[in-house]
Structure 1
């Protein structure tokens, strides 16, 4: 991950450094006990680390594994508009805009 503090609108802040410095393998229980109160922020709000990862029953081999799990588990509001890409083109809004869409 190029910027370990922020990816896909998810801001880990100091938690990112803490995860990098943690000893692995580590269970969810270990990580929550240590970092549960850290806030994971995103454009439309935030959640505590414990709220995001606490429901899982995992053992992680690395900080990158934890980050990936966070990205998989954060509230859908974290990633902003669904089906939006800033890579050019337009967001699909109707069948007429999709050349592969057939009308019957």
Structure 2
């Protein structure tokens, strides 16, 4: 059992990977353990980590690297993370209030 006390709450942001048949079948099998939270179809994105992941992905894909070992990938990710400007993170934190207001309105 994933949440034996029935406390599992899952926000489904309507992404295709969240609404796939196999996902809904899993939730139907675990209905006593968890609940899927209703989510408006056009809700604002409340995952601020999404933007830094995109920056990180772009930085890594722009490098001409041969196939790397796991330790090398870890080092590359850490180095790339350190190169993301602090203003990027500051802007994400400061924008969260707007996103939260938009969710409360919807």
Instruction: Answer yes or no: same fold by TM over 0.5.
Output: no
- Higher relative contact order by CA 8 Å / sep ≥ 6: 1 or 2? 2
> What's the TM-score once normalised by structure 2's chain length?
0.25
* Higher normalized helix content (fraction of residues): 2
* Higher normalized strand content (fraction of residues): 1
> What's the TM-score once normalised by structure 1's chain length?
0.25
